Amino acid sequence: MSRIGKKPVVIPKNVKASIDGSNVVVEGPLGKLEQWFSPNVKVELDTVAGAIRVEKANNSREAAAMHGLYRSLFQNMVTGVTTGYEKKLEIFGTGYLFAVQGNVLQIRAGFAHEVQKPIPNGLTVTCPDQVHVSIKGIDKQLVGQFAAEVRSIRKAEPYLGKGIKYDGEVIRRKESKAAAKK
């Protein structure tokens, strides 16, 4: 049995949760999120304790796999509607920069053309300066997916460190061939 799945998801006072058939709806100060759940798990809303409990519906392998997963998804929903999620990226290289124009993130990353990345609904993307970008939203999966897509445009390479990386990410540097000959 999943250790994570056994823990109840505590619902804060400023958050409303409800179960509608096979959907869990969580509404808080930052917005509203919905998550479908599998028939392999039973989801109960304990209004007295203010928690969501997830249990396996049967002893199948699929139910065991889904037990901890859905508990984590519900916890991410509660955290998202209360505090939200944020990913920060930085770009390094001569002439490399980020810019937000309307609903499009513009990226200059050493290509012959500027990369235009449309910003999905539900995300707030800001550029405090030209080399940093901040992606904020209430859906953890959406924030992480968009940040990963932006980073994949030009990942930081190990020789000069040019490219896009997460803020605080350490790029393992390598020596060039010329440095080895000396």
Give per-10-residue mean pLDDT for the chain (182 aa). 84 94 94 94 92 93 91 96 96 94 94 95 95 97 97 94 93 82 68
- What one-character DSSP code corresponds to residue 80? H
Its pTM stands at 0.90
Q: How far is CA 76 from the centre of its chain?
A: 10
The dihedrals phi and psi of 81, each to the nearest 5 degrees, come to -80, -15
Interhelix angle 61-82/140-151, nearest 10 degrees: 90
pLDDT score of 108: 95
For residue 115, how many other CB atoms are within 10 A of its CB? 13
- Name, in order, each residue with C-beta under 8 angstroms of 112's C-beta and a sequence gap of 6 or more: none
pLDDT score of 176: 80
- What one-character DSSP code corresponds to residue 170? P
- Name, in order, each residue with C-beta under 8 angstroms of 14's C-beta and a sequence gap of 6 or more: 28, 29, 82
Using one digit for the tens of pLDDT, what is the confidence trace for 45-78? 998 889 999 999 999 999 988 999 999 999 999 9
Which domains does the chain show, CATH number per domain?
A: 3-82 (3.90.930.12), 85-166 (3.90.930.12)
